[in-house]
């Protein structure tokens, strides 16, 4: 793939051309020249887009596609196309398929299905066999097949000894353990944040205590074992405080926050729109403020769309019976830009790579072209025409966003929306 990018503003603090508007020549997937002007002497494809900005390719640490088993929700192929159209060049695939991804063969299967795509798929294996929370899965075997972490997606590990052993065992090969932050015996049947809104709406509440208690437990286990822990999609102010203190102790812990937990409060559920039924639940403005501060001071390591396609049969029903989840890849960039500057947005979308052992490619001559292409200034109202996912359960539907994604250049491929 040979392409000449014209008049692109580079957003990459690792590049000598950061904040400069330049031409970029890419030959056979590698950046061969960056200059103020480059002549197209070889008659390559020319890319000239309005207010074009480029950055290192974005990474999402929590994406669900459905395949195998739930292809009606999303296939791997269409999911990767959606990721490319949304500006992501790498995604970590959750193992919540049917069957779940809990073996060497399963990891190999999803990797094979993702071959020859612009977007690189990094599979996460389950932490326990069948994601049943009872017996530890074959973690080392899955790591040999290419699993980058181990996680029973949105299922808390109730047995603390199992979590302790997993942290100890995985530390032998630098394995990353992911633990969903919810104490299910506290959350019980809660379907939204336990607060004034849940009382007014007559819905069972999921208290912040359920999240914070599980995080406190896991941090004690981490300190005891000296393992490597990632806590996904935290949602409360106290959770930020707990992780901040753990980092001060030099514990090997990281965490993420789902973008929708930064943008909505539990008052949004007043309409009983099941697209707002997510896990962890959206909480209060004081929680949002703490999460944003946690991102700014580095306590929270990364953002995620927590993209989770759910078919209409499991969403267009009464609120209590609807499945948790929202799609989020397509809206991720535009939503973040309503809260942060473009530079901070790009940092939040790229800085998770190191934690998951994923190679970074600075925008420099001689480096592989791994680029996200976007216009940071265009505003629009997000609607179904912006959705590429098979499932349409979008929490950001009818919300004004800022920033248009053009596509990606990665793996020697150019994908434009």
Q: Which tokens sit at 32?
A: 């061969």
Are the CB atoms for 208 and 229 separated by under 8 Å? Answer: no
Number of Cβ within 10 Å of residue 17's Cβ equals 19
Q: Indicate the angle between helix axes 237-248 and 208-225, nearest 10 degrees.
A: 10
Are the CB atoms for 265 and 282 separated by under 8 Å? Answer: yes
Output DSSP code: residue 104: H
**Calpha distance 61→74 (Å, rounded):** 18
Angle at 233 between CA 232 and CA 238, to 5 degrees: 105
Strand partners, 415: 408
Are the CB atoms for 5 and 52 separated by under 8 Å? Answer: yes
Are the CB atoms for 252 and 227 separated by under 8 Å? Answer: yes
- Using CA atoms, how far residue 207 sits from 202, 308, 333, in Å, is 15, 23, 29
Are the CB atoms for 246 and 258 separated by under 8 Å? Answer: no
Which residue matches tokens 């939503």? Answer: 335
306 is catalytic: yes
**Calpha distance 49→6 (Å, rounded):** 8
Are the CB atoms for 165 and 152 separated by under 8 Å? Answer: no
Output DSSP code: residue 394: B
Are the CB atoms for 177 and 229 separated by under 8 Å? Answer: yes
Indicate which residue of 60, 152, 301, 306 is catalytic: 306
Which residues are part of the catalytic machinery?
306
């Amino acid at each position: 793939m040979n392409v000449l990018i014209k008049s692109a503003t580079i957003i990459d603090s690792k590049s000598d051309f950061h904040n400069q508007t330049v031409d970029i020549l890419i030959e056979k997937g590698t950046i061969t020249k960056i200059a103020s002007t480059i002549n197209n002497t070889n008659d390559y494809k020319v890319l000239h887009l309005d207010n074009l900005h480029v950055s290192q390719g974005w990474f999402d640490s929590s994406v669900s596609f459905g395949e195998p088993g739930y292809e009606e929700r999303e296939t791997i192929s269409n999911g990767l196309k959606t990721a490319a159209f949304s500006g992501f060049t790498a995604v970590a695939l959750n193992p919540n398929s049917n069957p779940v991804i809990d073996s060497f063969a399963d990891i190999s299967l999803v990797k094979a299905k993702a071959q020859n795509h612009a977007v690189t798929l990094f599979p996460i294996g389950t932490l326990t066999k069948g994601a049943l929370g009872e017996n530890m899965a074959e973690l080392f075997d899955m790591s040999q097949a290419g699993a980058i972490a181990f996680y029973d997606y949105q299922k808390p590990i109730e047995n603390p000894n199992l979590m302790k052993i997993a942290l100890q065992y995985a530390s032998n090969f630098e394995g990353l353990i992911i633990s969903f932050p919810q104490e299910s015996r506290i959350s019980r049947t809660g379907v939204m944040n336990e607060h004034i809104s849940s009382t007014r709406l007559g819905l069972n509440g999921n208290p912040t205590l359920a999240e914070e208690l599980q995080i406190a437990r896991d941090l004690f286990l981490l300190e005891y074992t000296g393992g490597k822990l990632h806590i996904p999609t935290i949602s409360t102010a106290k959770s930020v405080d707990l992780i901040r203190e753990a980092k001060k102790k030099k514990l090997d812990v990281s965490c993420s926050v789902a973008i929708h937990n930064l943008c909505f409060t539990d008052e949004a559920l007043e309409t009983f729109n099941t697209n707002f039924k997510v896990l962890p639940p959206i909480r209060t403005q004081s929680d949002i403020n703490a999460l944003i501060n946690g991102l700014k001071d580095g306590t929270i390591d990364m953002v995620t769309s927590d993209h989770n396609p759910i078919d209409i049969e499991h969403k267009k029903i009464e609120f209590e019976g609807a499945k948790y989840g929202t799609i989020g890849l397509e809206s991720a960039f535009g939503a973040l830009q309503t809260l942060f500057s473009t530079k901070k947005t790009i940092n939040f979308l790229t800085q998770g790579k190191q934690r998951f052992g994923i190679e970074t490619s600075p925008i420099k001559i001689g480096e592989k072209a791994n680029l996200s292409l976007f216009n940071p200034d265009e505003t629009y109202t997000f609607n179904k025409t912006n959705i590429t996912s098979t499932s349409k359960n979008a929490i950001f539907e009818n919300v004004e966003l800022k920033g248009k994604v053009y596509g990606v250049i990665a793996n020697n491929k150019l994908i434009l929306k």
